[in-house]
Structures are given as structure tokens and as C-alpha cells.
Structure 1
Amino acid sequence: MSDEEKPPREFVESLMLKGPYKTSNQSTLEAYVEAQALGEGSYYFEANKALLKIYQFLPKTADTNKFALVLLLSMLEFPSASVDWLAISYLIPERIQKSEPCSTVLQCTNLLDGCEFVEFWKTFDTLSSVCGEDKYAKALLDGSAKKTLQNGILQAMSLTYRSARLDTVLANLNMDSSSASSLTEISSCVESVSADTVTFIATTDNIKRGRVFQEGVSYGAIANMMSNVVTTE
């Protein structure tokens, strides 16, 4: 397999069945992480975790950029894969966590996981510079990452709230008022958008709570709801 060829998911799955932590899998798993970043492969947590485990066995061969890339890929699965971040973080040496680009990526994941969306975007905007010239991180960040994350944030809000102020939603998504009409295109959880309110699709959870988001309401409620959803999956 050449440097430019990326393994298909089916091939990676076959390696996982035979022995996920075989050190001989390292180059293939690295290539599949790159494929995910380029949009040429679907997200595969088990394969990404296996690569980091192999790095534990062979620390001298570990690629620092791959640690950050695996974290970025799991971040884009928000809110459904929040538990992935925790599992992955245990496999990243402390010295790597404290160095760039992992340090800033971890800040982003923590802010996102805590539903501190406005602060999240401020940190997210610095990722392109801290990731340097890594072409795979650049491809991921310059591609559909922002829209994917906006969809995830809307999904997270809809877990608890039936409606929210439009200006608050736009701030959480790092969008201006001119983009309000596109919210229904970004996420299927948005039912409608009026002059000042975003209404989410009714669910058992957001109806039974009867909540309308207001300024000053803690996002802890959302974080707790997300934890319950992940636990029951």
C-alpha cells in the first residue's frame, strides 16, 4: 500500500477481528485515521483506540499528530460519542496531553463536553494554528468540521429544551443573524425558526420537562441528559 492509498474500513475491521493490538497493524491504523480525516473512511472508534494502545507498546514510534487527530475525530461525533473522549484520554501520555496540538484539542473537548459552547468556539478557532502543517488536521478543520459541530450542538440543546432564544442559539453556534434561516438545514432536530425563537422537534425528554431555554439557565441540565443518553445506548 503506497503512502497515498488508504485502507477500506472492511480491511481494518478484519484486522480488528484477528487481533486489534498487534503492532504490525500500526501503519494500517494510522492510514485509516488519515482516511477518516480526509472523509474517505467512516469514524471507527475501536480502530482509533487500538492505534493509541499500540503507541503505548511502542512509544518511540508514536506520532504526536495522530493523538490529536484521533481526539479531533471523536470530537466531531458530539454529542453521541462523548464517552470516547474519556477512553481516549486515558491512552494519551500526560506529556503529550500538555503539549500542542493535543493540549488545545483537549481544551476544546472539555468545553464542548461541558456545553460551554461560546467559549468552545473561541478555542476552536485557534486549532488551525496549533495543528501547524499537518495536512490531515487541516483537511478535517477546513472541511465540514464546523457544520458537523454545529449540528451536534443543536442536537445537544434539543435533548433538554423544546425552544430557545434565537440569539442564544446563534451565539452557541458561532453564527450571525443572517444565517438564522439555515438552522433547519444544519440539523433535523430544528422544527422551526421564527424572528426570535428556535423550536426543536418534540421528544419525550424535552416535552416532559417543558423547558424553554432562557439566559442564566445552566447547561448542566444538558450535560446530565447527554450522560444519561450515552449510558443507555
Structure 2
Amino acid sequence: MVREQPQQQQQQQPVSQMSYTVEQLVALNPYNPDILPDLENYVNEQVSSQTYSLDANLCLLRLYQFEPERMSTQIVAHILVKALMAMPAPDFSLCLFLIPERVQMEEQFKTLIVLSHYLETARFRQFWDEAAKSRHIVEVVPGFEQAIQAYAIHVLSLTYQKVPRPVLAEAINIEGLSLDKFLEHQVANSGWILEKGQGRAHQLIILPRNEFNHPELKKGTGESVPLQHITRIFPILG
């Protein structure tokens, strides 16, 4: 069943009649090309309402495989941008798997693949530089910058107990007074601590403790792949 969920760091939106209808369509007619227009409209709905449904988007990409002449490259680009915003979930790779190679070779998709690579390898400076040159692709989807900033903070929290201010500034692409305001918000709402006695350029930000930046907190359970990621692959391979 399609599960509508808010994009990372975005407010939960009420479930609309469209989302309810799309749930029914995907559940009952996942391979019926007649639902293509509804699924395309639903992608636009996700963009405008800042919600996200990977399952509905994967269903649309599968239908495009059967009806390639009906593929909308603009819709596909929106799906991939939304998938980037869902990182660290593997949504981008799942979607890309369903997109023909000839389509992937188009300039906008090559750009999105490069952006994905920069994010996966935590090369945030290169990511923001490339994104700045591709605003016409990414900024048509509201909330993109905030979602990537949240992902960057997630990555930093896996690595650092104390993150230097310049490293944080580069990762989230915020500097100066804007960064000061951002830090004030994080201190007030997210448990961040600013280490005292440091000049601004050498400021250290103490991040909340977790099992990655404090390994002693890690539970004695083995690493495993979440079941939801495995179950999403089955329909693709079927």
C-alpha cells in the first residue's frame, strides 16, 4: 500500500482526496497504464504540498517502462529530486534503476546523478557548487535546500562529537550571520552546544550523542538491512 509521508524536515500535510485515490489506484491497478495521468498529477501534488510517496513514484516509473512514449522527463526529474531529498534512504538508486539508460544520458539527469554521487560521498562543497549551477532543476521543488542541509547534519553527526564551525558551514552552505541564527535555533531546539572560549573562526559545536559519534552507546545487535528497503526491491525485480 502507498504510504504518504512528509519529506525530511517538512511539516506533515493532511492526506488529501488525491492521495487517497492514488492509494487505491496503485493497490488495485499497479500495471494499468490508464492510471498514468493520475500518478503524474500526484507527483506534482507532492511537489506543491511538500509531501512524498516513494511507492507511488516507483509505480509511475514502472509504468513508463511499459509506455516509454508517454514518459514525461519533467515528471521523472521531479521524482529524482524528491528522492535526493529523502537521503540517506536509498530512494534515488531505486528510482534510477527504473529509468532507461538513454534517458539518464540527458543533461538534467546526468546532473542529478552527479549530485547524488557528491551526497553519497559527503563532498558537500562540490554538491553545493554544482547545485548552484543547476538551480533550474532543483529549486523547482520546494524544500530541497532544507532537506539536503538536514542530510548533511545527519552525516556530520555520524562522524563528529565536536564539529568545527567551518566544516559545518561548508556542509550546509550557510555562513556569517545566517549561520549564527541557525546555530541559535539548533541550540534551542536540537540539543547542540557551542563550546565556550573559542573565537568565531575556531568555534566548535558539540553535537548530540548517538551510537555513531559515541560508539560506547551502540547496542550489541548485528547490522541489518531494514526490511522496508528489501520489500521495495521485490516489485522492481518482479
In 1, the alpha carbon distance for the partners of 2:114 and 2:17 equals 31
In 1, the alpha carbon distance for the partners of 2:145 and 2:50 equals 18
TM-score between both structures, scaled by the size of structure 1: 0.77
- Over 3 Å counting, the alpha-carbon distance change for 1:7 and 1:95 in structure 2 is farther
Counterpart in 2 of 1:185?
A: 185
Which residues of structure 2 form unaligned runs of 5+? 1-15, 218-222, 228-238
- Over 3 Å counting, the alpha-carbon distance change for 1:190 and 1:101 in structure 2 is farther
Counterpart in 1 of 2:60?
A: 51
Specify which of 68, 84, 94 is matched with residue 91 of structure 2. Answer: 84
In 2, the alpha carbon distance for the partners of 1:51 and 1:173 equals 32
> Radius of gyration: which is bigger?
2
- Over 3 Å counting, the alpha-carbon distance change for 1:119 and 1:7 in structure 2 is farther
Q: Alpha-carbon deviation of 1:209?
A: 7.0
Spell out the pairing of 1:149-160 with structure 2 (5 A cutoff). Answer: 149-160=148-159
Q: Alpha-carbon deviation of 1:169?
A: 0.8
State yes or no: 1:26 paired with 2:36.
Answer: yes
TM-score between both structures, scaled by the size of structure 2: 0.75
Q: Which amino acid aligns with 2:96?
A: S
Q: How many residues align?
A: 199
Counterpart in 2 of 1:37?
A: 47
Counterpart in 2 of 1:213?
A: none
Specify which of 186, 198, 208 is matched with residue 201 of structure 1. Answer: 208
Specify which of 63, 67, 73 is matched with residue 76 of structure 2. Answer: 67
Aligned-pair identity in percent equals: 23
State yes or no: 1:102 paired with 2:102.
Answer: no
Q: Which amino acid aligns with 2:38?
A: T
Which residues of structure 1 form unaligned runs of 5+? 1-5, 132-136, 211-227
Q: Which amino acid aligns with 1:191?
A: W
Moved more, 85-94 or 182-191: 182-191
String of CA shifts for 1:104-132, please: whole Å, max 9, x gaps: 11111111111111111111112224x3x
Kept after mapping to 1: 8 A contact 2:186/2:192: no
Kept after mapping to 1: 8 A contact 2:50/2:143: no
In 2, the alpha carbon distance for the partners of 1:202 and 1:57 equals 48
Counterpart in 2 of 1:10?
A: 20
In 2, the alpha carbon distance for the partners of 1:184 and 1:73 equals 28
Kept after mapping to 2: 8 A contact 1:12/1:47: yes
Kept after mapping to 2: 8 A contact 1:190/1:200: yes
Counterpart in 2 of 1:221?
A: none
Q: Which amino acid aligns with 1:48?
A: N
In 2, the alpha carbon distance for the partners of 1:173 and 1:41 equals 20
- Over 3 Å counting, the alpha-carbon distance change for 1:183 and 1:21 in structure 2 is farther
In 1, the alpha carbon distance for the partners of 2:120 and 2:143 equals 20
Q: Alpha-carbon deviation of 1:7?
A: 5.9
Q: Which amino acid aligns with 1:149?
A: I
Q: Which amino acid aligns with 1:185?
A: H
